[in-house]
Structure formats: C-alpha cells, structure tokens
Structure 1
Amino acid sequence: MPTIVMTPNMTKIDGALKKKAWAFIEKLSTGDDTPGLHIEPIKNSVDPRVRTGRVDQQYRAVLFKVQGSGTEAYYVLHGVWNHDEAIVIAEKSRLSLNPVNGVLELVREDVEAVAAPSVPTPPAADAPLAEDGANRSLLAARGITLLDLLDLGIDRPLAERAVAAVSDDDLTAAADLATDRVIWQGIALLEIAAGGSVDDVRASLDIEREGVVTDPDSDDSMIQALDRPASRIGFSVLDDDELRRAIEDQDFDTWRVFLHPEQRRYAREHRNGAFRLSGGAGTGKTVVLVHRARMLARADPTARIVLTTYTRNLAHALKADLLRLDPGITLASSPGAPGVHVTSVDAMVLSVLRSRGDDVAEDVEAVLGEVTTEVGSRTEATAWKEAIDSAGANLQEETRTRSFFEGEYALVILPARIRTREEYWKVRRPGRGTKLDRARRSDVWTVVETYRRRARLAGSLDWDESAAVAAAGLDARSERLVDHVLVDEGQDLTPTRWQFLRALVAPGPDDLFIAEDSQQRIYGRQVVLGRYGIRIVGRSRRLTLNYRTTAENLAFAVGILSGAEFVDMEDADAVSAGYRSARRGPAPILLGAPGLREELDMAAQLVSAWLSTGAAPETVAVLVRDARVRDVVSRGLRDRGVRMREVDSGELGTGLPVVMTMHRAKGTEFLNVLLFGVSASALPSRAVLSGLSDAERDDALLRERSLLYVAATRARDQLACTWSGPQSPLVPSLS
C-alpha cells in the first residue's frame, strides 16, 4: 500500500471538492494505476517527481511520487487546483532537501523570492551599523548577520531580504514571503522577527547543523528526512489507520497532524514533575494537551489519565478532539479507571464526593468544622448577600460586598481549611489588597459563620467547598486516584480546585501538565500555583506562534490588552510580547452606529455577505456580552431575514450561523466573527463593576479585557466589531 504524505494545502479544501479529493486519495491509497486517477508526469517541470491526478473534470491534484528503495512509493500531496492552474503549479514546484540542514522542502519556484527594488541592499556580514537609525538594518542592530541566516538554512534571496529590513513591516513581509515559499523558513523568520535569536530558532525547530545528508538527490534521503522535526511542519505521514479514518470521515483536520516541533516536544517529552505550558490564544496549547493524552495512553495502556478543564462545554470539546485524533483510544468512565477520563473538574469533584458515601462527613469536618453527609446540592448564588444583610452590620464599606466575600472565601479561608475565628485571625492573606486587623477579621468571620450555617441547614455546599472537601478526603487517605492529570484553561480554576487536582495524583514524573494563558482569565481570580502545593520549579515554557488568527486580527486582539498588567500563575508578569501569527488576512472591520436598529442592519449585512461567499453557515458567528443581548440579536437578525442558532450549552450544530455570548465562545473558532454591541455601556460591564472595592474593580477590569480578547481571537479570517452610541474604551483603534 502506498504511503500518503499530507501538506498544509490539503487542509484548505472546502465544500463538495473535499469529498472528491478524499475519493481521489482513497483510490491513490491502493496504487497509482487505479482506474480514474490519471496520474501523469509533467513535461518541462522543475522536478521529475511531480505528477498530476484527476480529481474531477475541472480539478487536478498536484503530487510528488517518491519511490525510494522500497516496493511501495510515497505520494506527497501538494494540493488541488483548477486544471490549468494545477499544471502551472506542478511545472514550478519541486521537492528537495535543504543543503544546510537536511529539512524536506516543497518549494514554489513561481513565488518571487528576490528582494523587491524598494528594499535596501543587505549589509555585508561585517559591515558597521549605519549611523542613521532610520536606515539601520533591524537584524544587524541585534547582531544577526546574513551568514547567521544562511547557516540556519534560509535561502539566500530570503535571507538577504530579511537582513535588509529596516522596519518591522519589512521584516514581517520577508517572513510572509518565506512562508509562501517554504513554510519552515517562514516560521523561522517569524520567530526572529518576534525577537528570537538564531539559536532560539534552531532549538525550537530542532534544526541540526551541517553534515546531515549524504545523498541529497536520492528518494531514500527524502523519505528519511520526513522524520526530521522541522520537516514535519510541512509534511505529515499518515499510517494505515489514520488514512482509513480520514477517508471514512472525509475530514482533513481529523488528526491535527501539523505540529510545530516545539509543540511536538512538549507533547511527548517526559518531565520530573508538574509542567506549565502558557501561550496566547491560537498557539496550540489544547492541541499539545490532546496529543500528550494520547502519548501517555499509548505508552502505558494501564495508566489512569485525567484530561480536564473548567467548563462542561470545554470538556466536551476536549473529548471530541481526542476522539478525532484517536477514535480507538480507551475512554475511562471514572478518574480511577485505566484510560483517559475527560470531564470538567467540578464533575470529577462530585464523582469523588458521591463515592465516599456517609464517610464524606469526616471530610466535611476537616474543611468546615461540621459533620454532615448532605453534600449533594449547591448553595444558592444569593447566599452571600443574604449572610451580609443578616450579619454584616459592623462591616467596613470595602468588605460589604458579595465579591469581597467570594474572593476571601475562595482564596484564603477554604484553601487554608479555616474552621474557627481564631484560625482566621492568624492566616496569611497574600494578594488580597484589603487590609484587615483582628477586629475587622472578626466582623468578616461572623458573616462567614452565618453563610456556613445557612448552607448546612439547606444541606448544600458551594463549588469551592465541594472541591476543598474532596481534596481533604483524598489527602487524609493518601489516596491517589490517577497517574497523570492534564489541565486545559488552567487560568480559570480556583485554589480549592487546584488542591483537588493536586490530591488526585502523587507528585512525581509526568504528574501534572497545565496549559494556561493568564491573559484569557475570564472566570476566576488570579491564582499563584505555588501557594496550593503545585511546584513548577523551572518547568515552564511559552508558545508564541499563533496558527489560528491572522496577523491583522492578532494585532487588534493584543491591542485590547495594551496598557494592562497581567500576572501569570507563577506570580510573574504575563506578557504578549513575541506573539506572532503564521497567517495574513484582511484588516478588522470597525463600524459604529447611531442606534440599535442601525447596528442590527449592519450585522445583517455583514452576516449575509459572509454567507454569500459560500462559507459553511456554522463557520460564521456573532458574539455578544450577555444572554440578553444574544436574544435581542437573534430576533433582530431573524426580522431582517437572517436566521441564527442561539447557542448556550451543548454542540454548536450545523446549517446555521451561530450567536452566543463571549463566555460561551471560549474554546471555539470560526472563519468570520462579528463582535456585536462593543459599546461603552456594555464593555466593561457596569453590572460586573458595580459596588467593587478598588482592588476588586481592577481585577474585574482585567477580566473584561480578557473576555474581549478571547472573543476577538475566535476569528480565523475576518473579524468585525459593531456598536451603537459611544465605542467601548477597550476596543483599540486600527493603526
């Protein structure tokens, strides 16, 4: 059976053509002499290995046949184009090995690689820097020379263009050109443009130095080069099972096959303890996590693995991604069974509590100082307000809010398992902002006692109490239910949930793998992992290359965060510097309207225009701040002839564009996204900020910025924002 090798172009085929392309691949997988394929060499081509094959009467596939010394050939699928265009592309495309580092490359000779006339002549390797800063080469100013780029393996015309760049736009243009020509070289230049050194690029792409290829022109050398990490950026070999699934599912994205070498390393490497992987939206943290779950399961089929996150919707998405990657993987029904258990943290907490039966009373006493087995229901959201109204007469103004008590309880009292007033007098309160002497702590504790007493009478626990009780029980019994815990969107978890996850698995090799982005924190308060028993100790890395969002949309989204100070889960500054995109696209659209009616008119026109391009309806989304606006938009667009699907929980569905809240959109992506209602009255939310102390208000403002950032990074191609009245101050202007 021939070996099929995919390139990124094959993931860009949409609509009915995708089914025809898969039919072509299915035939090709049995041999190139299968009737109907019409595999033909191309005369006067730059590479004798190139072929075209018939997908239908109008479209042809461009592919390379690499025979090697084996009995079966390798077929490298370049893409599918209209007949005449396919012939031109086939004539000008070649498969080759980079002479410096042995990376397999698919080069389009028809993509211009020389420096444009407007680009200055590159300086000599040892030339002094120009005195005039306006004409100074950016890379020369950083000590990066033409020889450095050539030694990395960058083609000379691209390297010359890069070292001649005197502005960020020039350097980014060189990276874009390289991406169009040879994908790994484009990514290398993007990393350098973002501030990375040549050694950084060599390490992240796992690029070897000279002497790696003995016979660069042989087919066998090309087949061997497919194993090089940098080659895998642009080529993915499909095994028999993957090919079968791909053909059956007719889904080019089934396996998320194109991993950056750095992503692959994080997915596969073993570590001696807890590991934290951070990165901006679209940098592939979740992809790494899913691949790592499969790697651990394949390495030890008896291993008990948990793959978890904060919300049920995100947990469902994780499970779907894992099954797309490996439909045969063993899914565990509980956190103590062999296989991968995919669920939300809160669902796991409830499972552990229920498994304890009446013995849960001991665990409740360890946390709350009371004995009860009634832990099945959740405390009402109004309980804190009622406790404050009942017992908070002596509270100072800055502590007389539900927000203060929720934070104090979740960040201080429950993690420390405070059960008495005396214990609360002594406990440390790092990061809380509001200072409390003993008398003021006593006033706070009176409200806490009232809250707890009312909850016990109702037979309920709140979510943070539930996690604290479950963690205390596991700790008391030294019971470690699982071998590996993998956490997605870790920035949204509260301290007692982290204590619960820490209690699930014994400290040791590959125990905890945490994916997080503190600039996407839209639910909980800022947490420092070391305070809750999770020691990272240097095992922390950051992804910076965005694969989802275009450079234009990414710049806009990062602008939302501009001027705000974020702190990561190791109590260090969380920065967006260095984030860059591997894709270009249209600039975001910003449209203001005098009133709601006119804004709805704009929204209807935008959505209708996107649908008229032939894009699948479910790839279009309208995102709003809250459920009330979601309902207004859905009715308003329907009245204007545009039907939408309102999404709350569950699957997104197909056949209609969707409208959902920005919170619900977490973990999703769409081709085209409209952020509706980004006005000064909606973002930041007045309801969220009302009645907060200065410290709480600052943190709430960060979450509002993060929410808009999350929403803006859901768009793959076109992003649009509309508002009526004054524009939100969180929306950046387009430069």
Structure 2
Amino acid sequence: MGNPARGAGRLAQDTGAQVLLTTFNEALAEGLARKLPLLAGEDVRARITVRALGSLISDLHAERFGETGIASEDEIRSLLRDGAATSDVSFTDDFLHDEWSLVVDAWDIRDLDTYRDLPRLGRKVRMPAARRDAAWMIFDGVRAQLGARGMKTNAQLAHDLSETGAFPFTHAVIDEAQDISVPELRLLGKSLGDTPNGLFFAGDIGQRIFRAPFPWAAAGVEIRGRSRSLKVNYRTSHQIRRYSDDLLPETLVEPDGTEENRLGITSVFDGETPEIHSFDTREDELEAVNAWLGKLEQTGVPNNEVVCLVRMSKLSVEIGPRLPVRVMPMHEAKGAEYRAVAVLALDQDIVPLEDRLMSANDEARLDEIMNTERHLLYVAASRARDHLWISGVIPVSEFLTDILQ
C-alpha cells in the first residue's frame, strides 16, 4: 500500500470496515479526499473518513467530554513565565517551553516521581535532580492553572481519548507520518495497535519539519522489522531529485533505530538541470529569477503552475509584489507539487534561520534545529516536478554551498 489513498480504499473493501485516512493538516486532507473518487467506488468511499488528525481528535473529544477551551502557545508561554518568576532556579523561556511541549505535555507526565525518573525522551541532556524538581514545580503550576481555567492543550485532548477507547475506526492510514506527534501516535497505538492491519503509516523522514524525533516504540507503536523504503520516485525528475537529495545525508536514523537509506532511489523521468545561483544583492537575484520565469512561460509553463518559496512569511510579503507568481513560506508548500519552483533568499542568516539557532539551549537542540532547517529546504526543493531554481545573496547559506560544490 505505497499510496495512502489507495491503501485506504483497499482496507475499505471489507463491508465491516470503518477506515480513517488522515494527515497532519486540513489542506493535505482535502488533497487526499480529492484522490479517493479515482481509486474507489461510492460504496467503498462511504466507509472512509478523510480528516486532519488534529481536528478529528478535537471533535471526538468534544463529543465525549463536551466543548473544552484550548490553550494557545502564547498562553502556555505566559503561564511558564509566571511560574519561572517565582522559582529560585533560573530557566530560559525557550527551555521551559521545550521541556513542557516535548516531555511533560507530550508524554502526559502528571507527577514529580514520574518526571524525576523519566528517560530523556525528546531531550538528550541530563538535568540535575534539584533543577528537575524546580522545573516540575513550574509545570505542575501550569497544569493547575489550566485546570482552574477549564482549558487543555491539544496534547491533553489526545491523552484523554487514549484513556476512553473512544476511537470509532477499525483501521487508520496515516499520510505524512513523519510529522505525527507523540500524543497522536499514542492514541493510535492504544486504539488500533493490536488490530490486524489496524495501522498503516506512510512518510519520509527527510520531510520531517514540524515534530522533534522521538522513539515510536515508547509511544506504543513498534515498527522495527515491519517497515520498508520505497525506491521509485514518480513525482520529480531525476535531476531535481538528485539535487534535492544532496541536501540530506545518505542515511537518516530516528531515535528508535528506524533507518532510511536514501541510496538507490530512482526517478521515472528526466528533466532540466536545476539552476543554482548566488548573487551580490537581492535586486540582482530578483532580476535573474524574473528572467527565468519569463523563459518558463515562453516554453509553455504558465505562472499558475509555478511557485516561489522563501523561509519566512515576512520575506514572502516583501518579495511577493516583485514576482509574477505566488510567493509563500517553505513550510506552507508541504505536501504540494508544482511544475516549477524557485527557492529564493537562501542567505547565510536566513537558512538556517539565525533566530532559531540563537534559541538553542544546548548542543543537542542546536543539532535538531540544524536538521529541521535542512529538511525544510529539502521539502522546498522537492516540490518541483520539472524545473527548479535555487539562489541566495552572498554570503549564502551553508546548505546552498553543499550543492554548489
């Protein structure tokens, strides 16, 4: 079942099946839904629910427990800062947020003993016992404040459902599974992990940009010995795939030992060699890419089949009026594909994003940020089917240097 939509259709052939076909956001879920009529008849489609996993969990929680207020990231950060202000131990805002989101909230830690003895799931640096105790006082205070306000986090919605068994599906097919969160995976594992053919995951470790890696086995889903890598690329030309792959190491390994060897992958068609450039100024870069876009249009590639990708929303606003094609942040292109893609502004302080690097609390966190930034550029470049342009202003990103060599 290499194609998630086709896999869902196959599972739904069983008249007793209720199949969930899901992914991490609404736009991608809509794309999967559009493919279903091409792959399954109306009677089979009636047994398939296509939803983004986060919104589905929210709706199922509301059905079971009633409407619940969801705490935003800003509200969580504010509560963490309030707790830190009363602590005798100094913590940075980013450390507390990461520790809360990657450990305490993600793994549903509810007491000090569990937190004190917890292996560093999602975090790689040991914390002295006294410092951990002080951190727990802050996190426990956040939990109490949320409870007093009748609010929960999105992670807590999934944890609540995990305890009830209120998951009305016999099978789940998960697309873009590399970006699944710990609470979402735990819910799926508890609900369908013991069901024959209950869970099917499709993903690409190289495209993991929204979630920190974590051991799937610890979340109750064991995939070692039950997974395989697909080696034929039907979406991008041989030339674009080769340049995109140069952005990643030959082998990617997740913490649970899942390994993806990226050697031996082949594309089924050839195309134009990607254009890779560096410029002295942004003006020079935009002038050159406009000329490239004009040539594409003359050869039959209309502007509505081309996109320009940049690292930040701010850049898309600045550059957008200067180009005749849609300009958007790289992460918004996840799961999409275009005949031609221009990836611009790969400057040294933009990719990897300097502000993210400065927020790193330790070497392990810095490594993770560098990895996700590299994966984000890989996602951007691999959105192109036939034509790819990559450029930046000198001094250019070290990632661009990798493929200029």
Q: Identify whether the pair has TM-score above 0.5, normalized to the shorter chain.
A: yes
- Can you give the 5+ residue segments of structure 1 that lack an aligned partner in the other structure? 1-266, 268-284, 333-338, 359-374, 645-657
Q: Tell me which residue corresponds to 1:9.
A: none
Query: What displacement does 1:557 show?
Result: 0.9
What letter corresponds to residue 292 of structure 1 in structure 2? G
Mapped to 2, the partners of 1:431 and 1:614 lie a distance apart of: 48
Native 8 Å contact 1:395 1:440 kept in 2: no
Mapped to 1, the partners of 2:88 and 2:333 lie a distance apart of: 38
What letter corresponds to residue 403 of structure 2 in structure 1? S
Question: 1:538-549 alignment to 2 at 5 Å?
Answer: 538-549=225-236
Structure 2 residue 27 is the aligned partner of structure 1 residue 313: yes
CA RMSD in angstroms comes to: 2.3
Question: 1:6-21 alignment to 2 at 5 Å?
Answer: none
Q: Tell me which residue corresponds to 1:727.
A: 396
Question: 1:435-584 alignment to 2 at 5 Å?
Answer: 435-474=126-165, 479-505=166-192, 507-562=194-249, 566-568=252-254, 570-584=256-270
Mapped to 2, the partners of 1:352 and 1:412 lie a distance apart of: 24
Q: Alpha carbons of 1:343 and 1:705: their partners in 2 closer, same or farther (altered >3 Å)?
A: same
Q: Tell me which residue corresponds to 1:352.
A: 60
Deviations 1:163-188 (A, max 9, x none): xxxxxxxxxxxxxxxxxxxxxxxxxx
Mapped to 2, the partners of 1:615 and 1:317 lie a distance apart of: 22
Native 8 Å contact 1:483 1:506 kept in 2: no
TM-score normalized with structure 1 length = 0.52
What letter corresponds to residue 377 of structure 1 in structure 2? G
Q: Tell me which residue corresponds to 1:168.
A: none
Structure 2 residue 5 is the aligned partner of structure 1 residue 290: yes
Structure 2 residue 396 is the aligned partner of structure 1 residue 704: no
Question: What secondary structure does 1:571 align onto?
Answer: coil
Question: What secondary structure does 1:343 align onto?
Answer: strand
Native 8 Å contact 1:309 1:343 kept in 2: yes
Native 8 Å contact 1:410 1:496 kept in 2: no
Q: Tell me which residue corresponds to 2:83.
A: 391
Q: Which of 659, 663, 669 is the equivalent residue of 2:327?
A: 659
Mapped to 2, the partners of 1:426 and 1:675 lie a distance apart of: 45
Native 8 Å contact 1:679 1:727 kept in 2: yes
Question: What secondary structure does 2:403 align onto?
Answer: coil
Q: Which of 300, 307, 317 is the equivalent residue of 1:614?
A: 300
Question: What secondary structure does 1:663 align onto?
Answer: helix
What letter corresponds to residue 351 of structure 1 in structure 2? D
Q: Alpha carbons of 1:734 and 1:583: their partners in 2 closer, same or farther (altered >3 Å)?
A: farther
Query: What displacement does 1:326 show?
Result: 3.3
Using the aligned pairs only, state the percent identity.
Answer: 26
Mapped to 1, the partners of 2:72 and 2:62 lie a distance apart of: 20
Native 8 Å contact 2:11 2:17 kept in 1: yes
What letter corresponds to residue 57 of structure 2 in structure 1? V
Query: What displacement does 1:310 show?
Result: 0.9
Mapped to 2, the partners of 1:544 and 1:577 lie a distance apart of: 8
What letter corresponds to residue 83 of structure 2 in structure 1? A
TM-score normalized with structure 2 length = 0.92
Q: Tell me which residue corresponds to 1:342.
A: 50
Q: Alpha carbons of 1:406 and 1:577: their partners in 2 closer, same or farther (altered >3 Å)?
A: farther
Q: Tell me which residue corresponds to 1:222.
A: none
Deviations 1:95-136 (A, max 9, x none): xxxxxxxxxxxxxxxxxxxxxxxxxxxxxxxxxxxxxxxxxx
Q: Alpha carbons of 1:425 and 1:323: their partners in 2 closer, same or farther (altered >3 Å)?
A: same
User: Which protein has greater RCO, CA pairs closer than 8 Å, 6+ apart?
Assistant: 2
Question: 1:620-699 alignment to 2 at 5 Å?
Answer: 620-637=306-323, 642=324, 644=325, 658-693=326-361, 694-699=363-368
Question: 1:132-281 alignment to 2 at 5 Å?
Answer: 267=1
Deviations 1:492-512 (A, max 9, x none): 111111012223326121110
Mapped to 2, the partners of 1:526 and 1:319 lie a distance apart of: 28
Question: What secondary structure does 1:723 align onto?
Answer: strand
Mapped to 2, the partners of 1:430 and 1:419 lie a distance apart of: 15
Mapped to 2, the partners of 1:301 and 1:678 lie a distance apart of: 51
Q: Alpha carbons of 1:443 and 1:537: their partners in 2 closer, same or farther (altered >3 Å)?
A: same
Mapped to 2, the partners of 1:629 and 1:571 lie a distance apart of: 37
What letter corresponds to residue 293 of structure 1 in structure 2? A
Question: 1:84-163 alignment to 2 at 5 Å?
Answer: none
Query: What displacement does 1:670 show?
Result: 1.2
Structure with higher Rg: it is 1
Mapped to 2, the partners of 1:734 and 1:552 lie a distance apart of: 14
Native 8 Å contact 2:330 2:380 kept in 1: yes
Structure 2 residue 71 is the aligned partner of structure 1 residue 379: yes
Which portions of structure 1, spanning 4 or more consecutive aligned residues, are displaced by more than 4 angstroms?
A: 329-332, 393-397
Query: What displacement does 1:702 show?
Result: 0.5
Mapped to 2, the partners of 1:499 and 1:570 lie a distance apart of: 15
Mapped to 1, the partners of 2:255 and 2:40 lie a distance apart of: 31
What letter corresponds to residue 302 of structure 1 in structure 2? G
Q: Alpha carbons of 1:546 and 1:724: their partners in 2 closer, same or farther (altered >3 Å)?
A: same
Mapped to 1, the partners of 2:206 and 2:346 lie a distance apart of: 19
Query: What displacement does 1:392 show?
Result: 2.3
Deviations 1:374-428 (A, max 9, x none): x63321222343234322255877x5243x3344334433454322223322333
Query: What displacement does 1:705 show?
Result: 0.5
Question: What secondary structure does 1:429 align onto?
Answer: coil
What letter corresponds to residue 335 of structure 2 in structure 1? G
Native 8 Å contact 1:415 1:532 kept in 2: no
Mapped to 2, the partners of 1:576 and 1:395 lie a distance apart of: 48
Structure 2 residue 366 is the aligned partner of structure 1 residue 713: no
Mapped to 2, the partners of 1:677 and 1:329 lie a distance apart of: 49
Question: 1:32-43 alignment to 2 at 5 Å?
Answer: none
Mapped to 2, the partners of 1:623 and 1:636 lie a distance apart of: 13
